[in-house]
Homo-oligomer: A and B are copies of this chain.
Amino acid sequence: MSNMDPRGEKMKSLKRFQPDWREDVPAADSYRSIFKYDPNKFKHPSTGWYEMFKSEFAMTDADFQERQPGGDERVVLDRKPRLSESQVNAFRRIVGEENVATDDYSRVKFSHGKSLDEALALRVGKVGRVPDLAVHPRNKEEIAEIVKYCNAERIPIITYGAGSGVVLGMRASEGGIALVLRTHMNKVLSISDLNQTAVVQPGIIGPDYEAALNDAPRLFGSTRSYTCGYFPQSFELASVGGWIATLGSGQASTYYGDACDIVLSQEVVTPVGEIKTKDIPGTATGPKVNDILKGSEGTYGILVEATMKIFRYMPENTQRFSFMFPSWESTVDAAREIMQGEFGLPAVLRISDPEETEIGLKLKLKGFTGSILDGLLRRRGFIPMQRCLCIGTVEGEEGYAKHVRKMASRIARSLGGMSLTGYATRQWEHGRYSDVHMREDLLDYSIIIDTLETGVTWENLHRLHGGVRSFVKRRPGTICMTHASHFYPQGTNLYFIFMMRPKDAEEFFRFREGVVDRMVEHGGSISHHHGIGTMFAPWMEPHLGREQMEVLRALKKHFDPRNIMNPGGVLDLDPREEAD
């Protein structure tokens, strides 16, 4: 990859032209307001990024003169709802007139997530299947009534938490309703200091939940402040219900646990009745229904309340470390040793492969390329496109955090790592939630950025990473940055970020399919924490096998005999004869 070499001179001379990155808040009724992550947030590519795009994708300034369609039009569907007026009135009776929306905008907004596919389609005003109306329930009792009514009338329900999903998880059959949890069901209901738990409604998003926990003494009279321990990149966009329903995982989950680990109990409304699992920390009473419900992505029922494990909020104890390693192999070895060393666990642990490291150094660490530090690293054998960055934080009690950092650093050094202190970690922290907003700028000029991620054992990691990269690199002009960011003693995830300028969207989708095939082929899962939706549903059976799929389908048939819960292919659970 010679074109990744530093070219400071060239960059300087080209600095003159800068694309006119958009910074206008999308019109409130526009397609753009739906697919843009956050209407009010922007993050433009730096000059460095811009130069890289041109160089990697054989583009010139001229390619950045004219934008692609931006989805700025007003949403117009012009489709008659299938529900009868009397059915619509039934919902109005349950939730109140003001909480039933039949307008075109609501029908589109509350059935779309944040996937690349949806952004591309909505930019040109292309809308697939949509529900007939959006219903905004005020409490769990109303949800129980709605599900009962929908089951009796065979009306499909898609559940909209906060709409941050990226796997096409809300592709309902045409018609039915979108049940929107974000509007009213967004509160922390209570906190137990003794149990260290919080009872929360599913539509609350990360920042609101975390703020309530941090402020627990004032809001709930708690004896202390708490943290949720769950910080995915989508933290500002995703709902707690979504975390659980899709088996999510946050950037500090290596320590605090994945979403599935931090749910003590749940209340779920299904077509065959309501299930409230027990608040019991450990039990031997048969297969755990609390676990069975997690990850069902709205196909079994609607999570209406969760009792979450919470943690003591002690940000003053956070320790940071970062290291440069001479190779990907030594970086992986260090991460594995940290996870298996039994001295405690880091909260954030994140290792970048050579390509991600190099792009990060060049584009995120201002002034790094050609700097004294860069020279020092090279002389010490940390060679571009071989060297790898590792960053980490440790949380918890002060002595614990210090000890884990000390041990992690000792391991890093013993494997050839050079300490960069906490500097690189702080750099990463600044952009951890905002980098996603760059996507719209890129799509404005036909550059695609998308991600795929997989769970994998240590034994399969290098094979999978190599297998995906060799597939990807057969296509010229394809950037592939990889990191691992969620660790277990038995393995980790691999998170691939792809950037390219395909001739059309179809080319990219075919490319993405090829990558998923490679992941399955090399022993990875088809999703580590994004979930399945309809996007990865075609790989469910090839990945898990027919026998496991039949278990999930048997449960589907039990909970939802009439297939009204998030139908349309999610998790590949539609009854075989009715699947489309």
Contact = CB atoms under 8 A, between A and B. Distances in A.
Interface centre among A342, A400, A459, A550 (most CB of B within 10 A): A342
7 contacts: A275-B545, A280-B523, A284-B525, A284-B529, A292-B551, A344-B344, A399-B406
Given A196-B490, A282-B249, A490-B264, A314 B289 contact: no
Contacts of A157: none
The 5 closest A-B pairs by CB, nearest first: A554-B558, A247-B284, A281-B488, A342-B396, A343-B397
Given A195-B457, A279-B523, A285-B527, 20 more contacts: A194-B458, A196-B489, A273-B547, A273-B550, A281-B489, A281-B492, A282-B492, A282-B529, A283-B525, A285-B544, A286-B571, A287-B295, A287-B552, A289-B544, A291-B291, A309-B490, A311-B342, A397-B407, A399-B403, A399-B406
Classify chain A: how many residues form its interface, as a range: 35 or more
Contact of A278 (B273, B293, B544): B544
A302 to B, nearest CB: 14
Given A195-B457, A551-B289, A284 B488 contact: no
B294 A528 contact: no
Interface in A236-282: 246-249, 258, 260, 264, 270, 272-282
A341 B281 contact: no
Contacts of A532: 284-286
A169 to B, nearest CB: 11
B295 A195 contact: no
Nearest to A559: B551
Given A396-B343, A550-B558, A455 B291 contact: no
A456 interface: yes
Copies of this protein chain in the complex: 2
A531 B291 contact: no
Contacts of A343: 396-397, 399-400
B285 A525 contact: yes
A277 B457 CA distance: 14
A493 B282 contact: yes
A524 interface: yes
Contacts of A272: 547, 550
Contact of A528 (B283, B551, B558): B283
A486 interface: yes
A181 interface: no
Contact of A526 (B260, B285, B397, B524): B285
A361 interface: no
A209 to B, nearest CB: 18
A164 B311 CA distance: 38
A362 to B, nearest CB: 31
A520 to B, nearest CB: 10
A483 to B, nearest CB: 15
Contact of A192 (B260, B286, B459, B540): B459
A530 interface: yes
A342 B527 contact: no
A554 B551 contact: no
A548 interface: yes
A296 interface: yes
Interface string A532-553: 1000100010011111101110
A233 to B, nearest CB: 14
Given A344-B344, A491-B195, A527 B249 contact: no
Nearest to A332: B194
A278 B288 CA distance: 19
Given A490-B281, A523-B279, A558 B551 contact: yes
A336 interface: yes
Contact of A292 (B260, B279, B291, B571): B291
A296 B292 CA distance: 13
Contacts of A548: 275, 277, 289
